[in-house]
Amino acid sequence: MKLNSIKAIAPIILTLAISACSNPSTSQHSHLSLIDFEDETDKHIILLENADAKMIQSSQGNALEIKLESKNNHDASFTVQPKTPWNFSQYQNAAIALDIKNPSATSTHVYIYTYDANNAFQLRNVVIPANSNNSYLIELKSLGLQVNSGIRNNPPSWQHDYVQTIWRGGVKQPDTSAISKIRFLISGVLEDKTLEIDNIKVVEPKQYDENFLTGIVDKFGQNAKQKFVRKVHSVAELQKFSQQEQQSLVDHPLPSRSKFNGWADGPKLKATGFYRTEKYQGKWSIVDPEGYLFFSNGIANIRMANTSTITGYDFDKKLIKQRDAKDYTPEDSIGLNRAPDNAISSRYVSSETRANMFTWLPSYQSDEAASFGYRREVHSGAIKHGETYSFYRANLARKYETNDEALLMEKWRDTTIKRMHTWGFTSFGNWVDPSYYQLNRLPYFANGWIIGDFKTVSSGNDYWGAMPDVFDPVFATRAEVTVKQIADEVQNNPWCVGVFIDNEKSWGADWGATAQFGIAINAFTKQASQSPIKQNFVATLKAKYQNIEALNQAWNSQFASWQTLEAPYTINKITEPMKQDLSTLSYNYADKYFSVVAELLEQYMPNHMYMGPRFAHWAMTPESRKAAAKWLDVVSYNYYREGIDQPYWQILEELDKPSIIGEFHNGAMDSGLFNPGLIHATNQTDRGKKYQEYMYSVIDNPYFVGAHWFQYIDSPLTGRAYDGENYNVGFVNVADIPYQPLVDAAKELNENIYQRRYGL
């Protein structure tokens, strides 16, 4: 990551106290002061990136004020670095606590990186509420971090008076004998921020709640140990709310909308009978089938998949029928993976930790057993496979008083579409259940995954899995199977805006040559006779250099012949000429991927736009974006930040292509869930405020033609079965009850979305 400006601010004097003292607010821990900004006997370093710092007087003495220039910079940060790493090895368990004041009228989402001397880091995030002054906790070594529960972030394992920061990534427990620095990062925000920090200390918990993971889920899938707004206590209460909501829903677009949710009150362009793109008055736009300007604001992931959670039970694996994995996505629905009846009698506890989380699970002889399922493989979690349960589906069955699958799904779809109309959304987002496709009531995006037994290659950051070897003929074969399946589902329907295929592929990253060219670098480690991508890359180099001596001179290598290059080769040092070649090879790889898919879509779905694989901002490169722009109708990005910040505009300007946000969200801790999500808000009202700020940054950007919120339903409290995500990111909770402040914010924005976009 490039630092635009780093300054060591001196003399900022920080002090290390030598005696422990008990915390006056609680008896659950003791603490030792590390930095209080009062004494000038021991210097520490403050590193700044796009920021300034100064000492100020607070009500309790000195504090450090940090002004972060984050409006026009993608990142702004400050780092506290002791001259000698802090040694907390004497503590059996330890956390760092500090005071953070936010004097501004808006909340601030902060990433916190805590490094040890080996440069391993623990990443956390937290929201600093507007006009607040609180103490925050960074757990480094604790019972809660030691337990692999299968939940992305565990509930607190000990009671304290601090605001809990949320574990996000990196190592869970860095080496506490040598904590070398703490970095506080602001990234992807729309305004400058100011924070004040004080009283940094190490905290030692003295007493744990051994039952912090026991009995946390009630019959409705809610937090059994917390109170929160709209918590359901009975089936009658659930049904009463549903009946009240139904009376407020409408089944038609807003009056200013066309049949296909375009802007009926705006200009009418050429009508083609299907969605297309056009640059209108300097702004990229989608045009609906009737010729009206169309901006896609929708909610993604409206489906039963990902509503289930691992229960901690399993069955005799010999009785679990294995399926051909190449024909299924990584995220199958509840019924598809249901354990067969002959396996039920072999049910056993596979994880006591998971099984003890639930205060209630139904009998397999009851009607509510219909919401059980089975996960044959997980991405990450406490166990590799096992029984699942969808409390969301169970709550739908309760509110609609039916377990008939067809009738239940019909009622669910009807309510969902009416909500979209009532809330003013113009379309669905990605990953809507295909059963919505032929209803012809709301525009949608189709989707699919290219999955099969083709060869693969690593990018070096294969979070969701290795990349396909796109030069393997099997890849094209499997891509055709995928596209044909999508085409069969869509049936040339004009309500389909476009098609997303794959998601957040690991193309590489922009933070150094090794990350940027990871696919090419790893391709060279293969034997060419067994690797189509290696064969293609060697052929490309032969065509450029003609002889091996010319390649050796450019690469500073010593290959005896082209046959030597075909053997596994590890690139240790990247020369400048090599960078040019690796860039070309990386582009050729991405160009092959996009061309294969684009040509198949042109063959089987010529009337529908290719929306791409939704680039993750942490896993894309200039080469992959350039290739995408060549083949895609709309370039898609999943961008989890507070808004489309100014530096991100540069990417869009370089391509000058219609673009869409495939995913963004925020969440809060007042929902009963243990994890707000990737972006944190203070509460449900702040969620609505942040939603509007993000959307306005998209609407006001001339390159974007839409944005999709992820997702419709909160993650399960105990984590989705696939990977443990347990986020408060839904427009509705597990009981299918909407978060009204978020809904109200969306309705207000959607009523004027076209007027704001086009200024007419």
Give CA–CA dist 711/305, Å, rounded: 12
Give CA–CA dist 95/320, Å, rounded: 44
Q: What is the pLDDT of residue 10?
A: 31
Residue 185 in any domain: the answer is: yes
Asked if 185 and 330 sit in the same domain, the reply is no
Beta bridge partners of 100: 134, 197
Q: Choose the final residue of a domain: 321, 354, 389.
A: 389
Residue 68 in any domain: the answer is: yes
Which amino acid appears at position 480 of this protein?
E
pTM: 0.93
The pLDDT confidence band at residue 736, using thresholds 50, 70 and 90, is very high
Burial of 562 (0-12, 13-18, 19+ CB in 10 A): middle
Give CA–CA dist 410/519, Å, rounded: 45
Q: What is the pLDDT of residue 321?
A: 54
Q: Choose the final residue of a domain: 346, 371, 389.
A: 389
Sheet harboring 659-663: ordered strands across? 296-300, 704-710, 659-663, 635-638, 615-616
Q: Is residue 331 predicted with pLDDT exceeding 50?
A: no
Q: Is residue 612 predicted with pLDDT exceeding 50?
A: yes
Q: In degrees rounded to 5, what are phi and psi of residue 82?
A: -70, 150
Residue 690 in any domain: the answer is: no
Asked if 319 and 198 sit in the same domain, the reply is no
| 647-666 pLDDT, tens digit each | 788 889 999 999 999 999 99
Which amino acid appears at position 11 of this protein?
P
The pLDDT confidence band at residue 625, using thresholds 50, 70 and 90, is very high
Q: What is the pLDDT of residue 44?
A: 77
Q: Which positions ≥6 away from 119 have C-beta within 8 Å?
A: 180
Q: Is residue 205 predicted with pLDDT exceeding 60?
A: yes
Mean pLDDT, range 507-527, rounded to an integer: 92
Q: Choose the final residue of a domain: 205, 234, 253.
A: 205
> Do 159 and 123 meet the contact criterion of CB atoms below 8 Å apart?
no
Composition of the chain by helix, strand, coil, percent to 5:
30, 25, 45
| 530-547 pLDDT, tens digit each | 999 999 999 999 999 989
> Do 570 and 458 meet the contact criterion of CB atoms below 8 Å apart?
no
Q: Is residue 333 predicted with pLDDT exceeding 70?
A: no
Nearest to 747 by CA among 150, 250, 393, 29: 250
Asked if 313 and 189 sit in the same domain, the reply is no
Q: What is the pLDDT of residue 340?
A: 63
Asked if 325 and 183 sit in the same domain, the reply is no
Beta bridge partners of 675: 727
Asked if 194 and 327 sit in the same domain, the reply is no
Q: Is residue 439 predicted with pLDDT exceeding 60?
A: yes
The pLDDT confidence band at residue 272, using thresholds 50, 70 and 90, is very high
Assign residue 147 the CATH number of its domain.
Answer: 2.60.120.430
| 37-66 pLDDT, tens digit each | 887 555 678 999 999 999 998 777 889 999
Q: What is the pLDDT of residue 510?
A: 86
Asked if 12 and 160 sit in the same domain, the reply is yes
Q: Which positions ≥6 away from 27 have C-beta within 8 Å?
A: 206, 207
Residue 370 in any domain: the answer is: yes
Sign of torsion over alpha carbons 393, 394, 398, 401: positive
Q: What is the pLDDT of residue 61?
A: 85
Residue 501 in any domain: the answer is: no
Residue 29 in any domain: the answer is: yes
Least confident stretch, 22-36, 144-158, 330-344: 330-344
Number of independent structural domains in the chain = 2
Q: Residue 724: helix, strand or coil by DSSP?
A: coil
| 455-470 pLDDT, tens digit each | 999 988 888 889 999 9
Across the chain, mean pLDDT equals: 91
Q: What is the pLDDT of residue 319?
A: 60
Q: What is the pLDDT of residue 250?
A: 96
Q: Is residue 268 predicted with pLDDT exceeding 60?
A: yes
| 174-197 pLDDT, tens digit each | 999 999 999 999 999 999 999 999
Give CA–CA dist 35/395, Å, rounded: 50
Q: Which positions ≥6 away from 508 have C-beta within 8 Å?
A: 459, 460, 461, 515, 516, 517, 518, 519, 586, 619, 620, 621, 623, 624
Residue 330 in any domain: the answer is: yes
Q: Is residue 264 predicted with pLDDT exceeding 90?
A: yes
Asked if 175 and 319 sit in the same domain, the reply is no
Mean pLDDT, range 346-359, rounded to an integer: 95
Mean pLDDT, range 668-685, rounded to an integer: 97
The pLDDT confidence band at residue 206, using thresholds 50, 70 and 90, is confident
Q: Is residue 32 predicted with pLDDT exceeding 90?
A: no
Q: Which residue range forms the structural domain that includes residue 201?
A: 6-205
Asked if 313 and 193 sit in the same domain, the reply is no
Percent of the chain with pLDDT over 70: 92
Q: What is the pLDDT of residue 48?
A: 95
Burial of 134 (0-12, 13-18, 19+ CB in 10 A): middle
Least confident stretch, 25-29, 85-89, 154-158, 722-726: 25-29
Q: Is residue 7 predicted with pLDDT exceeding 60?
A: no
Helix axes 646-655, 622-631, angle to 10 degrees: 50
Q: What is the pLDDT of residue 463?
A: 80
Q: What is the pLDDT of residue 120?
A: 95
Residue 488 in any domain: the answer is: no
